[in-house]
Structure 1
Amino acid sequence: MSRTHRRSLSRSLSVLALLALTAGAVTACSDSDSTAKDSPSSSAGSSTSPGTARAGEAKLHLVDNDGHRLAFYVTQGKGPTIVLDAGGGEDSSQWHDLIPKIQEATGATVVTYDRAGMGKSDVVPGAWSVESAVSDLKAGLDELGVTENVTLVSHSQAGEVATYFAKENPKMLSGVVLVDASLPPLYTDEEITRLAAAAQPQVDAAKKDPDKPQNRQLISTAESYVPMHKAYHKVSWPNSVPATVIVSEKTPFDGSPEDVQRWKDAARTFAADGPNRTLVTAANSSHDIPKDRPDLILKEIETRVTTQR
């Protein structure tokens, strides 16, 4: 796939708050297995115990949940656990370059995973369900024995997973870093209607090649988009869970000033709507902050982990 095509697909996914496949991603979207091969865990075999992995070496764990299998990768450390959740259309390899820097800076255990239908994880047919995604993440962490002192780092669409996960499991989380995340205040009825209508041509195009992982995810998200985001708009973040909100300067809607402002306003509203929330702007960054400003993400992770200790 050409870079031009990838940029076009990125914009369509962004419109549907999948917010994935940002410019510069290196994965060929025609081959989901190739993305998993780029993962830091690609050379590791399956394991059932996270304690068997040496520090600095990622280990693949295959976890069963609700009839499908999910790939989790553990880079073993000490103390707290940092869980990295990739944006829509991305798998765990999005964090490939950042993991060793996190390990060096914090010494913590780092967990990444492939959401259903991406990387080495099984496809789940039908409309995308954030509840299912939350169940998958919880099942994986339970299997790994991770039950507390978790810093969750969530990019883009993973912000929706993080919001529901935090609501259901606040005691597991010592803090969250939301990286240009999809947040509830954005999704007014007016904005949902605007975004769904704008995305429809890209959804129709994706249906012509539905087996590509990113197309499949776009289609499945579109199926549940309106009711899911009407419900999401009403979800509250638990006050007991501290959150750092990183918003990009350009946002996923670069080129649409109205939507850029609405995205930034949603981040500001969310950050101001409860205690222990901090808003940080990623200057000179596109939506793909993991690529453009990994230094900033690392800094905010370090701050969260240091605060926990």
Structure 2
Amino acid sequence: MNKSRRTVTGLGVTLTLAGLLTACGQPGSAAAQTRPSSSTPAGSSTPATGIHMITNNGHRLAFHVTAGRKATIVLDAGGGEDSSYWAKIVPPLSRATGAQIITYDRAGTGDSDEVPGPWKVQNAVSDLKAGLDQLGVTGKVLLVAHSQAGEVATYFARQNPHRVGGAVLVDASLPDFYTDPQIARIVAVTTPQIEALKAQATLTKPERQLIATAALYTPMHHRYHQVTWPKSIPAAVIVSTGTPFEGSAPDMQHWRDAQADFAARAADRDLVVADSSHDIPLEKPDLVIQQIRTRLQAH
């Protein structure tokens, strides 16, 4: 893992989560612009395979659809990543399940527009909801969330429990992790790095996202620690042996404990350990697919 990737992962789990921790606002008007696929039957009510550009609150977001039937699976990547992160999973998952699969680029990543100002969870959840609405997804979805996307999934599920049939949380950022001592520890480590980024003459897209998210880090994480996952929504919890904090034994153990505590809080949550780094979807795609299939069969 190179230095910039490690910055996005190590800080991304902690810093790019910051704006996700407030209560979500109401989505603005949204309009969909699509490039339909020739494989979509005439008159079909399902979105075509391909990229669909959604406009929400003045910015455009790229939603990528693999057409299918029956269930809808939404794959959401972690901090600093875009929809291409799921490249190893989408084709075999489509063959194995026949489901409709949706990946997307959150604001500031991939083909989606950047949004100025602090990164806020109400914007992220509004974008996801707008995308599903404009694509005509009305049934329950299975949320698959990696790393930072765990917080998007948590707030989306809380606000829209009728739209979520289950979840696979892949080394996801969960509320249990963000105790006051852990927040203080992270702030102490990351503040100098953020200040160094601000001093640079030019910044990459991920670096701008890190700075935007750091602005609200502490209050957002205090708030997120009080949030609970809806008990009506079952979840598989996959935790890596490496965690996002390789090299820091206390942080690694706290991450693992938080995942186990979350899983133990309800009878319909399963804890699965992956012998891998934090990048479980890249290193153990078959394991992720297996857990998705299990959730689809159960519900």
Cα RMSD, aligned residues only: 2.1
Q: 2: distance between equivalents of 1:9 and 1:157? A: 14
How big is each residue's C-alpha offset from its partner over 1:17-49, in whole Å with a ceiling of 9 and x where there is no partner?
549xxxxxxxxxxxxxxxxxxxxxxxxxx5177
Q: 1:159 is aligned with what amino acid?
A: G
Aligned to 2:172: 181
Aligned to 1:97: 88
Q: 2:218 is aligned with what amino acid?
A: V
Aligned to 2:216: 224
How big is each residue's C-alpha offset from its partner over 1:45-78, in whole Å with a ceiling of 9 and x where there is no partner?
x5177996479x8411111111111110110001
Q: 1: distance between equivalents of 2:165 and 2:220? A: 27
Aligned to 1:144: 135
Where do residues 282-293 of structure 1 align in structure 2 (5 Å cutoff)? 282-283=274-275, 285-293=276-284
Where do residues 97-176 of structure 1 align in structure 2 (5 Å cutoff)? 97-176=88-167
- Name the CA shift for 1:240/1:50 in 2 (closer, same or farther; >3 Å): farther
Where do residues 11-90 of structure 1 align in structure 2 (5 Å cutoff)? 12-14=10-12, 16=14, 18=16, 47=34, 53=40, 58-90=49-81
Contact 1:152–1:175 (CA under 8 A) maintained in structure 2 = yes
1:9 to 2, 7, 10: 7
Give yes or no for the alignment of 1:197 onto 2:188.
yes
Q: 2:92 is aligned with what amino acid?
A: K
1:274 offset after TM fit, Å?
2.2
Contact 1:180–1:247 (CA under 8 A) maintained in structure 2 = yes
Q: 2: distance between equivalents of 1:150 and 1:96? A: 20
Aligned to 1:236: 228
Contact 2:15–2:214 (CA under 8 A) maintained in structure 1 = no
Contact 1:50–1:74 (CA under 8 A) maintained in structure 2 = no
1:211 offset after TM fit, Å?
3.4
How big is each residue's C-alpha offset from its partner over 1:196-218, in whole Å with a ceiling of 9 and x where there is no partner?
11111221232215531110111
Q: 2: distance between equivalents of 1:202 and 1:49? A: 43
Q: Where does the alignment leave 5 or more consecutive residues of structure 2 unmatched?
A: 18-32
- Name the CA shift for 1:193/1:210 in 2 (closer, same or farther; >3 Å): farther
Pairs aligned (count): 278
Aligned to 1:258: 250
Q: Percent identity?
A: 54
Runs of 4+ in structure 1 off by over 6 angstroms are 48-52
Q: 1: distance between equivalents of 2:138 and 2:166? A: 14
- Name the CA shift for 1:270/1:119 in 2 (closer, same or farther; >3 Å): same
Q: 1: distance between equivalents of 2:201 and 2:264? A: 42
TM-score normalised by length of structure 2: 0.88
1:257 offset after TM fit, Å?
0.6
For residue 113 of structure 2, give the secondary structure of its aligned residue in structure 1.
coil
For residue 2 of structure 2, give the secondary structure of its aligned residue in structure 1.
helix
Aligned to 1:215: 207
1:147 offset after TM fit, Å?
2.0
For residue 104 of structure 1, give the secondary structure of its aligned residue in structure 2.
helix
Aligned to 1:267: 259
For residue 110 of structure 2, give the secondary structure of its aligned residue in structure 1.
coil
Q: Where does the alignment leave 5 or more consecutive residues of structure 1 unmatched?
A: 20-45
How big is each residue's C-alpha offset from its partner over 1:258-300, in whole Å with a ceiling of 9 and x where there is no partner?
00010001101111112311111102x0001111111110100
Q: 2: distance between equivalents of 1:307 and 1:50? A: 32
Aligned to 1:27: none
Q: 1:13 is aligned with what amino acid?
A: L
Q: 2: distance between equivalents of 1:99 and 1:74? A: 10
- Name the CA shift for 1:119/1:250 in 2 (closer, same or farther; >3 Å): same
For residue 215 of structure 2, give the secondary structure of its aligned residue in structure 1.
helix
Q: 2:219 is aligned with what amino acid?
A: P
1:162 offset after TM fit, Å?
0.4
- Name the CA shift for 1:60/1:7 in 2 (closer, same or farther; >3 Å): closer
- Name the CA shift for 1:282/1:67 in 2 (closer, same or farther; >3 Å): same
Q: 1: distance between equivalents of 2:218 and 2:87? A: 33
TM-score normalised by length of structure 1: 0.85
For residue 203 of structure 2, give the secondary structure of its aligned residue in structure 1.
coil
